[in-house]
Structure 1
Amino acid sequence: MGDKHTRTLVIVTVALCVLVFVATGRTIGLDRALHLVSGRGVGETWFENPLYLIVEPAAVLVLVFTHAWRSRVLLAIPSIAMLVAVVEHAAFYRPHTMFSRADAVQLMLILCAVMAVGGLLLRMRERSRVALAAAAEERARRDERLDMARELHDVVAHHVTGMLVQAQAALVVAAQDKDKACAMLPGIVDGGTEALGAMSAMVRTLRDNGTATATTDLTADLHQLAEKSGLPVLANIELAEVRPELGRSVLRIVQEALTNVRKHAFDATRVEVDVRSTSEVLLLSVVDNGRTRPAHSGGFGLVGMRERVSELGGRFFAGATGDGWLVTAELPLEVRA
């Protein structure tokens, strides 16, 4: 609670405690109230009005509940104790027509305990809600960071790997044929230009509150990706219209799979890309016949692909086939609850 609300609550609590004690004193005699001596009252007063006798304990119970719910612990404990003390004092020493003295004391004690427990439960519920909200916010931030990391890896690795392969090839042939090596330079420049363009597009996406633009023609983009990969790709694409976020993820998975072929399967002579959709799922596979593949590449490509598929509610597999390497995914066409 804020300082202003805390001060107000303290003032109301003190004022009510004084009022209850004064009402008790006016009812049984102030000297008897101070010395806790029972005896006959001093005559009927407005404090014995039935309406007041209902409002007074109700106000006490509301304050007990409020302190248990909202006040700081160091304030709530003495405040509740003070309220319970004055209301129990009143229940014990004031005359009652409907209850005995013992019944009145027990009833108020039970009601105060119920209100305190209710306020405490509500406090715990609110704290749990705040903790859950904080955890959800942290998960959202983590997911956003992971998505950014995957995008950065997919975009940069794809283009930079192509540049690296061409540069390595140029170094190999430079000693024997400088003209052929020089002919490879424009491809490296084009790869760098495409990398910068992709990075700029990703930065614009992040500036637009993370709303990534998905592919509008997935079939055409997949064919273009296969043509620009520099690999002997045989593409078989049979797709119906898919939702934008699914199309974007499919494009990234295929892109990363082809990047891994270029990086790790140097002797691959055939790469087959198969993407087709059924009535319920989209099936994707990228398989190569390369055998030159280290057991542990140390990269995040497979992790990123697996995370993308998992977020879409699909299934993913990547591993050796005996004749090469296979990446396959099954993705639902519709969002699964």
Structure 2
Amino acid sequence: MGGLRRSSLLIATAVLCVSGFVVTGRIIGFDRAVLLRSSQGVGADTFVDHPVYAIVEGAVVLVVVFLHAWRTRPTVAVLSIAALLVVFEHAAFYRPHTMLSRADSVQLMLILSAIMVAGGLLLRLRERSREALAAAAEERARRDERLDMARELHDVVAHHVTGMLVQAQAALVVAEQDKAKACAMIPGIVEGGTEALGAMSAMVRTLRDNGAATATTDLTADLHRLAERSGLPVRTTVELTEDVRPELGRSVLRLVQEALTNVRKHAFDATSVEVDVRLGASAVQLSVVDNGRTRPAHSGGFGLVGMRERVHELGGRFFAGPTGEGWLVTAELPLEVRA
């Protein structure tokens, strides 16, 4: 469609140049129109010599100049505008005028053409700026989507696979002394793998549904179930007097899940883990604290980064760090979305 409009503009430019020269020749004589000495023109009493015609003709030329400066490619625009100016500055100088002198007509045409070119270039720059902003916004949206996918992948895979890894390592240790007991641990590993596959399938379905994530329908029950399946000595306190919005409940669940995963991965000697989730006046407050001391340096990895990003996207506050007797993760998530 854009190419068709540009072709139409080029055709209009050619027609204007030809008609402008023909009208000039009709008024002053074609031999004089090509700068040859000759007799008088033949159109002194014709319609094309009327001031109204000159005004309409000039307005059409200026509109085409404006459209070239706005729409066509720079090289084509320069050549087309130059051709129009040559033809109609020639006409402004050689045609007889009743309102303006020749010099005034030439200057007026130049000034108005410059204004049209400036206006067209301004609109061109404005459109390019809008396109650049739209492209940047699209790229930001894609980046945010990739980050959300990365966080979801990390949360789901790390949680389930870590549980399987811990059970497998324990089975290896136990197998040296009691093979029967080690074999008894295998169903737990299989169950963890099954849950991992189920979680991955659910995440893929969510992504296929344009990221419309399905949130928990019973946050309290899901938090207790998560603690029970973590394989850790967790004491869970959940005080939610009312339902929270779905995306907020899902984020709370993911934050607790990632915090427990970090405990299993890094707090090797933890004998106590406390999960506390409460509903305040304007925010959901959660904390996960353990008493593990053998946490290696830089143990947070991408988990803490993902948790911090998730909380900040919801307009909340996040902290994670040592307490002197273990490790603490806290977050405060506002009940309402902040503008």
TM > 0.5: yes
Counterpart CA distance in 2 for 1:322 and 1:96 is 95
The Cα offsets for residues 131-152 of structure 1, whole Å up to 9 and x where unpaired, read as 2222222222222121111111
Asked whether the 8 Å contact 1:38–1:93 carries over to 2, the reply is no
Is the Cα contact below 8 Å between 2:283 and 2:333 reproduced in 1?
yes
Q: How far apart are residue 254 of structure 1 and its match?
A: 0.6
In the TM superposition, what are the counterparts of 1:104-183 in structure 2 within 5 Å?
104-183=105-184
Paired residue secondary structure (2:232)? coil
SS at match of 1:35: coil
**Displacement of 1:4 after TM fit?**
3.4
Deviation by residue 1:82-112 (Cα, 9 ceiling, x = unmatched): 1112221222222222222222222111111
Residue in 2 aligned with 1:248? 250
Is residue 31–residue 38 contact of structure 2 (8 Å, CA) maintained in 1? no
Deviations, residues 173-213 of structure 1 (Å, cap 9, x unaligned): 11112222122112111111111111111111122222110
Q: Which letter maps to 1:208?
A: D
TM-score (norm 2): 0.94
> 1:97 aligns to what?
98
Structure 1 partner of 2:270: 268
Is 2-11 or 185-194 further displaced after alignment?
Answer: 2-11
Q: Deviations over 1:48-106 (max 9, x none)?
A: 22332221011101110111111111211100111112221222222222222222222
Please report how far the alpha carbon of residue 31 of structure 1 lies from its aligned counterpart in structure 2 after TM superposition.
2.2
- Which residue is equivalent to 1:35? 35
Query: What's the counterpart of residue 212 of structure 1?
Result: 213
Q: Distance in 2 between matches of 1:237 and 1:91?
A: 86
SS of match in other structure, 2:301: coil
Say whether residues 1:295 and 2:297 are aligned partners. Answer: yes
8 A Cα contact 1:28 1:38, kept in partner: no
Aligned to 1:277: 279
Q: Give the aligned partner of residue 60 of structure 2.
A: 59
Gaps of 5+ in 1: none
Tell me which residue corresponds to 1:227: 228
- Cα deviation 1:209-234 (Å, max 9, x = unaligned): 22110111111111111111111112
**Amino acid in structure 2 at the alignment position of 1:205:** T
Q: Deviations over 1:242-281 (max 9, x none)?
A: 1111111111111000000000001111111111122212
2: CA distance between counterparts of 1:208 and 1:217?
A: 22
Query: Could you say what secondary structure the match of 1:300 adopts?
Result: helix
Number of equivalent positions = 337
CA separation in 2, counterparts of 1:54 and 1:278? 73
Distance 1:232 1:69 in 2: 70
Question: 1:315 & 1:19 partners in 2: Cα distance?
Answer: 71
CA RMSD of aligned residues (A): 1.8
Aligned-pair identity (%): 78
- Rounded to whole Å, the distance in 2 between the matches of 1:16 and 1:44 is 22
Whether the aligned pair in 1 keeps the contact of 2:6 and 2:72 (CA below 8 Å) is yes
User: Structure 2: which 5+ runs fail to align?
Assistant: none
| Aligned match of 2:72 | 71
Q: Quick check: 1:319–1:327 contact (8 Å CA) kept in 2?
A: yes
* Structure 1 pair 216–37 and aligned structure 2 pair: CA distance change class (3 A): farther
Residue type of the alignment partner of 2:319: F
Q: Is the 8 A contact 2:262 2:300 kept in 1?
A: no
Deviations 1:304-325 (A, max 9, x none): 1111112111121111111111
- Partner SS for 1:316: strand
SS in 1 for 2:260: helix
Quickly say closer, same or farther: Cα 1:39–1:279, change in 2 above 3 A: farther
Q: Which residue of 1 aligns with 2:204?
A: 203
SS at match of 1:157: helix
* Residue 48 (structure 2) pairs with residue 47 (structure 1): yes
Query: Amino acid of the residue matched to residue 291 of structure 1?
Result: R
CA distance in 1, matches of 2:37, 2:128: 45
Shift of 1:118: 0.9
The 5 A counterparts of 1:16-31 are: 16-31=16-31
Specify the SS of the correspondent of 2:254. helix
Question: Would you say the 8 A contact 1:290–1:325 is kept in 2?
Answer: yes
Cα-to-partner distance string for 1:104-131 (whole Å, 9 max, x where unaligned):
2221111111111111111111122222
320, 328, 332: which one pairs with 1:330? 332
Distance 2:106 2:164 in 1: 86
| Structure 1 match to 2:9 | 9
